[in-house]
Chains A and B, each alone.
Chain A
Amino acid sequence: MKKFRIIEHTADIAVEVSAPSLEKLFEYSVYAWLQSVAEINGADNIEDKSIELSSASREVLLVDFLSELNYLLNVKRWLFINVKSLAIEENSKYILKAIVAGTNLENADVKLKTEIKAVTFHQMNIEETGKEFKTKIIFDI
Chain B
Amino acid sequence: MIIQGIEIKKINDTLWEIPKHGGMLVPGRIYTSQNLLESTLQNDEAIKQVINVAHLPGIQKYSLAMPDIHWGYGFPIGGVAATDLDEGVISPGGVGYDINCGVRLARTSLEYKTIQKRIPILVENLFKNIPTGVGASGAIRKLSTKEIRKILTHGSQWAVEQGFGSDEDIIFTEEHGKLKGANPDAVSERAIERGTDQAGTLGSGNHFLEVDVVEEIFDREKAEVFGLFEGQVVILIHTGSRGLGYQVCDDYLKVLVEAGNKYGFKLPDKQLACAPLKSGEGQNYLGAMQAAANFAWNNRQIIMHLAKKTLMQTLSISESELDFHLVHDVCHNIAKIEEHQINGERKKVCVHRKGATRAFPPGSEQIPEKYFSTGQPVLIPGDMGRYSYVLAGTEKAMEETFGSSCHGAGRVKSRHKALKMGKGRDLIAELKKEGIEIQAKGFRTIAEEMSYAYKDVSDVVDVMAKSGISKKVAKLRPVGVIKG
Contacts and interface: CB of A to CB of B under 8 A. Distances in A.
B325 to A, nearest CB: 32
Contacts of A87: none
Interface string B173-213: 00000000000000000100110000000011100000000
B265 interface: no
Interface in A93-127: 112-115, 117-124
B193 A115 contact: no
B416 A8 contact: yes
Contacts of A124: 270
What is the interface residue range for chain A against chain B?
35 or more
Interface stretch (A16-24, A25-33, A44-52, A58-66): A58-66
Contact of B71 (A10, A63, A74, A77): A10
Nearest to B207: A115
Contacts of B246: 117-118, 140
B194 A67 contact: no
A13 interface: yes
Interface residues of B, number: 41
A131 interface: no
Given A121-B257, A138-B73, A114 B243 contact: no
B97 A118 contact: yes
Contacts of A75: 190, 193-194, 243
A70 to B, nearest CB: 9
Contacts, number: 99
Contacts of A1: none
A63 B190 CA distance: 16
Interface centre among B73, B203, B249, B258 (most CB of A within 10 A): B73
B77 A11 contact: yes
B93 to A, nearest CB: 8
A62 to B, nearest CB: 12
A92 to B, nearest CB: 14
Contacts of B203: 115
25 contacts: A6-B416, A8-B414, A8-B417, A9-B71, A11-B72, A11-B411, A13-B415, A56-B258, A60-B257, A74-B134, A74-B194, A75-B190, A75-B243, A114-B134, A115-B134, A115-B203, A115-B204, A117-B246, A119-B250, A120-B73, A122-B73, A122-B269, A122-B270, A123-B269, A141-B205
Interface of B: 44, 70-74, 77, 96-98, 133-135, 190, 193-194, 203-205, 243, 246-247, 249-250, 253-254, 257-258, 269-271, 273, 411-417, 444, 484
Given A115-B484, A138-B73, 12 more contacts: A11-B72, A11-B415, A13-B416, A55-B254, A67-B250, A112-B134, A114-B444, A115-B203, A117-B97, A120-B97, A120-B271, A122-B270
Interface of A: 6, 8-13, 55-57, 59-60, 63-64, 67, 71, 73-75, 77, 112-115, 117-124, 138, 140-141
